[in-house]
Amino acid sequence: MENPQLDKNTNVKSVTVSVASQNVSEPEQGKMPKGEKCANHPWRDAYAQCSYCKRYFCYPDLVRYEGKEYCLEDLSKAPIAKGTFKVGPNRYTYVASLLLIVSSLFILYHTYPQITGFVGQISKFGIYGFLMKLSLSSEIGLVNLFVVVGLLISGVVVFRNSGVGLGFTILVIFIALGLFVFEYMNIVNTGAPNYYIYIIAMLIFDTVFTIVSRVEFVERLYEKKSIATVDWPKFETF
């Protein structure tokens, strides 16, 4: 027969949670509320009050998290402390970053004459004079420079896994895709080198891995914020 007065020093199993957090532990021995009984086990004296539902529970039915006691039902509703969970780059992030940087260098290599041409015009005529004499080839060279610099920046900011970084990266990739699809369509029947098709393929891979890295980041962040899985003795074990 179960002892109605459960010793607060009862040997119970340790808490294990689904995240790498050390903030969940056994309840501390504090001042027990007088005259209160456990909501789950009315024959037991209450050990502490759940910080969420405000009901009283005995020692085995409580978990201490961030300095407060919670019942097993409401542990997942406990507020997540700021800065507790950090999710760094994942394997898709590394691939996306590498592809973005490689794409930038590949584009720079093949469009270098266009870029240097419009840079030379700026040096010769100045920015105002360049804008006044702006031609289609100069505009393409200007966009090529933006794409090269933008992809380099994207290769760095993608590590932050931020929504702004994702938006900037996708914007740069879409501009690049539009540009090189346009240029590819203009030379497809001319017999000119079709390196544009390789650039387009790389940009598509850039898009896929950038989005997948962000999805993976969000999923891992959600998992780390989940503290609902607790291995704690239930009343039937006593």
pLDDT, tens digit (0-9, with 9 covering 90-100), for 38-82: 998 899 888 888 988 999 998 888 888 877 888 888 877 777 665
Residue 98 clears pLDDT 50, i.e. is over it: yes
Which tokens hold the place of 58?
């005995």
Q: 164 versus 122: which is more confidently predicted?
A: 164
Residue 178, class by beta-carbon neighbours within 10 Å (0-12 exposed, 13-18 middle, 19+ buried)?
exposed
CA angle, 129 then 131 then 137, to 5°: 115
Find out whether 152 and 175 touch, Cβ atoms under 8 Å. Answer: no
Across the chain, what does the average pLDDT equal?
Answer: 75
User: What percentage of the chain has pLDDT greater than the value 70?
Assistant: 73
Residue 228 clears pLDDT 60, i.e. is over it: no
Q: Which helix (H) or strand (E) holds 62?
A: strand 62-65
**Domain residue spans of the chain:** 1-83, 91-224
pTM: 0.56
